[in-house]
Amino acid sequence: MQVFFIVYQLWNALFFTSYLPIQSRLFPVDVRCTGTALTYNLAFSIASIIPTICSYFFADYESPFFLVMFFILAVITALISIIILVIRGRGQYAY
C-alpha cells in the first residue's frame, strides 16, 4: 500500500510541474489568473462527480460495460482536446 502512495505522489508531482506552466500559457496576460483558476476549478468540479456517476451506472445495470464506455468516452474527449490544443498552438509554445 505504501508503494501505491509513493507512486501516486510521484505522478501528481510530475503532472502538476508540467501541467500548470503549460496551462498558464494558454491565456493572455490580462486574464491569465482568472482563466487558469476557472479551468482548474471547473475540471476538478466535474471530476468530483465522476464517482457518483460510475456508482449509479454500476448499481443500476450491475455490469461493468457502462463503466468501460464511460472511461472510453473520457479518453476520447481528452484526446480530442489535446489534438485541438496542438493544432491551435502550433509554433506558439516554444520551449
Q: How confident is the model at residue 95 (pLDDT cuts 50, 70, 90)?
A: very low
Mean pLDDT (whole number) for 67-89: 82
Sign of CA dihedral 26, 29, 31, 34: positive
Q: Which residue has the higher pLDDT, 5 or 94?
A: 5
The model's pTM = 0.54
Q: Each residue of 16-48: pLDDT tens digit?
A: 777 777 777 777 888 888 888 888 888 888 888
Please provide the DSSP assignment of the chain as one string.
-HHHHHHHHHHHHHHHHHHHHHHHTTS-GGGHHHHHHHHHHHHHHHHHHHHHHHHHHHHHH-STHHHHHHHHHHHHHHHHHHHHHHHHTTTT---
